[in-house]
Structure 1
Amino acid sequence: MLFRQLEYLVALSRERHFARAAQACYVSQPALSEAIRKLEEELDVPLVRRGRKYEGLTPEGERIVVWAQRILADRDALKDEVSALRTGLSGTLRVGVIPTATGAVSLLTSPFCTAHPLVGVEVRADLQHEDILRQVQNFEFDAGITYLHKDLPEGFRTVPLYQERYVLLTGAADNVGHRATATWSQASRLPLCLLTGNMQGRRVLDELFAEAGVRPSPRVETDSVATLFAHVRTGQWATVVPQAWLHVFGIPHGMRAVPLVEPARAVRVGLVTAAREPGSVMARALTDIARRTDLTAGLERLSGTWASQG
């Protein structure tokens, strides 16, 4: 059995298409197919359901993919560990981030890059909570930044980063925009542009609106942060955004950010890594930075500065 064969099988599971999997592995489709066929012979089980086109993995194939991901992750972790012992940490840190945390991730990756100048960072943003957990568990990410719910599945380690608080972003000419605070009930009566309902960030908002006894009826829904701000800029719409986004966007000209109350509740956001030993050296290094970095202070300081300018 060769690492290459396991890589091909994992790629096929991910891409669900022989040609795309071969392209992702930089080999020809016949070479990938032959390597997987030899793996089937060696293991003496069928791994792929074959027809006129790819029809998925067999139950045995699905189980072997889990082992393949683990073996490949251990191989990469071993290489990173040896490299770190010889010349310091190097390679690539892979992090998945929920949309509402995209404004805060740089407060963590910046000190990480300073501490480990030979490491590159790959941030995959705008992912759903469930996708981040799955990809951390499948070794596709070294870590994720997501909500720390009470029902977080077993098999993960967490480091709290900050409390996600929300503001109503509206036009400066809007009556609500001139208030010190706004209620969720008042926000629900405005023409809203919100994230789409399948996103975890939107589900959190819906829970907060429901706690206030109201239900929003957004006329515009999107999975894009930029689209939310663009609609508010027209002066016709309002939106609800995490305070952490002000770290990136500030309060654009012609808009006001008003803290939301009744309820004035916050949601915990934190770093999530796989709970396994010895684990990814990248994950351990990022966890160390997370424990020594006060994201809450950084976000409140920057948001407070922009709020005074708004």
Structure 2
Amino acid sequence: MRSSRPRLPDVSVTQLEYLVAVERSATWADAAKSLGVSQSALSQGLGQLQRRLGIQLFSWEGRRRVPLEAARHVTDHARSILAQTGDLAAWAERIRAGSAGKLRVGMIDAAAVDHFGETLREFRENRPELDLHVIVGPSSQLLQGLGTGDLDLAICVQPDDPEVTHVPLLDEELLVYGPPGVRQSEPTRWGPWVTFPQGSLTRDLIGKALRALGAPFEVVAESNQPEVLSEMVLIGMGWTVLPRIQAERPPASLTPVQQTPLLKRTLVAATRHPGLANPAAIELTEELQRHATAMS
């Protein structure tokens, strides 16, 4: 019985690398230079890719080759394949070397500063042979880093993404904070708001929770930094919703409008492919889980 699955094209990883390099570079000459190949080899490789896929990826505008819409779709797919192939190569290298080697970790600020800073320091000190590199950023940026293969592990707000494998670490309560002198009032009178930028997972949770209470969610200022949001509340620019541990520490020391949390967010340890997970990422996740359990 013949399979209904279409026959896979004979496409190489090198050809996909060429395509991604062209997308990232200003010119084909720059792309070839970044790969360490001649422009002729680059052109031949992409020509083979087009023939094996059976679709045209580029057209000519004068003397310039420009990507067609199909090229953008293929490039997105190529990035994913290259990230996964990189995972496989790194995993194979770790198996051959018998060591973890390198670990690239992304953390949101609350995880890096407020919850797991000491755990991370001890983990590094206990593994002097491990090349541990940490990036602090918003959850959306960290999840993107996982997808592109730039990160092995992300400690972030729980995503709604089936492509990401994650284990829960802890729940954070987020409270409502108003400018100095505001009194407790009905949610319909809360705001305007200073909060995280568009695309933030926490901002989405905040907006949903406020609307459920009938509160308007008019945003007048944005920042990824909780300290900046707290200072904007202090000068009367607006209201905010933050974890207590960030909003109520000096120098801002905000006071919540009410003691009942508006919502909870779950911080997780996220990876891409558990079957090929970095052994050091597994160890760090276990350490973070133990620390989170001890805090609860």
TM-score (norm 2): 0.72
Q: Deviations over 1:43-76 (max 9, x none)?
A: 9536852532542626555544433332222112
SS of 2:161's equivalent in the other structure is coil
Identity over aligned residues, as a percent?
14
Q: How far has the Cα of 1:205 moved from its partner?
A: 0.8
Whole-angstrom CA distance in 1 between matches of 2:267 and 2:276: 25
Q: How far has the Cα of 1:204 moved from its partner?
A: 0.9
Distance 1:102 1:197, change over 3 A: farther
2:255 corresponds to: 257
What are the residue-to-residue correspondences of 1:207-226 with 2, within 5 Å? Answer: 207-226=208-227
Distance 1:292 1:54, change over 3 A: farther
2:93 corresponds to: 79
Whole-angstrom CA distance in 1 between matches of 2:186 and 2:198: 18
Q: 2:187 aligns with which of 163, 185, 198?
A: 185
Residue 188 of structure 2 is aligned to residue 153 of structure 1: no
SS of 2:256's equivalent in the other structure is strand
What are the residue-to-residue correspondences of 1:231-242 with 2, within 5 Å? Answer: 231-242=232-243
What are the residue-to-residue correspondences of 1:26-105 with 2, within 5 Å? Answer: 26=34, 31=38, 34-35=41-42, 37-38=44-45, 40-41=47-48, 44-45=51-52, 48-51=57-60, 52-55=64-67, 57=71, 62-83=76-97, 85=98, 88-95=99-106, 97-98=107-108, 101=111, 103=113, 104=115
Whole-angstrom CA distance in 1 between matches of 2:270 and 2:186: 30
Whole-angstrom CA distance in 2 between matches of 1:212 and 1:262: 13
TM-score (norm 1): 0.69
SS of 2:255's equivalent in the other structure is strand
Pair member with larger Rg: 2
Q: 1:271 aligns with which of 266, 269, 272?
A: 269
Which residue identity lines up with residue 134 of structure 2 in the other structure? E
2:171 corresponds to: 163
Unaligned 5+ runs, structure 1: 177-181, 301-310
Q: Alignment length, in residue pairs?
A: 277
Q: How far has the Cα of 1:163 moved from its partner?
A: 0.9
Q: How far has the Cα of 1:31 moved from its partner?
A: 3.2
Maintained 8 Å contact 1:155/1:276: no
Whole-angstrom CA distance in 2 between matches of 1:281 and 1:40: 39
Q: Deviations over 1:114-170 (max 9, x none)?
A: 332332223151242xx5445424423212223335xx3334332211112113445
1:112 corresponds to: 123
SS of 2:41's equivalent in the other structure is helix
Q: Deviations over 1:3-25 (max 9, x none)?
A: 76654444445x264469749x8
Distance 1:82 1:257, change over 3 A: farther
Distance 1:168 1:281, change over 3 A: same
Distance 1:58 1:201, change over 3 A: closer
Q: How far has the Cα of 1:273 moved from its partner?
A: 1.1
Whole-angstrom CA distance in 2 between matches of 1:34 and 1:4: 11
Whole-angstrom CA distance in 2 between matches of 1:72 and 1:66: 10
Whole-angstrom CA distance in 2 between matches of 1:292 and 1:184: 40
Q: 1:288 aligns with which of 265, 286, 289?
A: 286
Maintained 8 Å contact 1:102/1:245: no
Which residue identity lines up with residue 292 of structure 2 in the other structure? D
Which residue identity lines up with residue 161 of structure 2 in the other structure? P
Whole-angstrom CA distance in 2 between matches of 1:169 and 1:296: 28
1:140 corresponds to: 150
Distance 1:192 1:60, change over 3 A: closer
Q: How far has the Cα of 1:271 moved from its partner?
A: 1.0
Maintained 8 Å contact 2:154/2:270: yes
1:303 corresponds to: none
Maintained 8 Å contact 1:192/1:217: yes
Whole-angstrom CA distance in 1 between matches of 2:66 and 2:278: 33
Distance 1:40 1:232, change over 3 A: same
Which residue identity lines up with residue 154 of structure 1 in the other structure? P
Maintained 8 Å contact 1:101/1:244: no
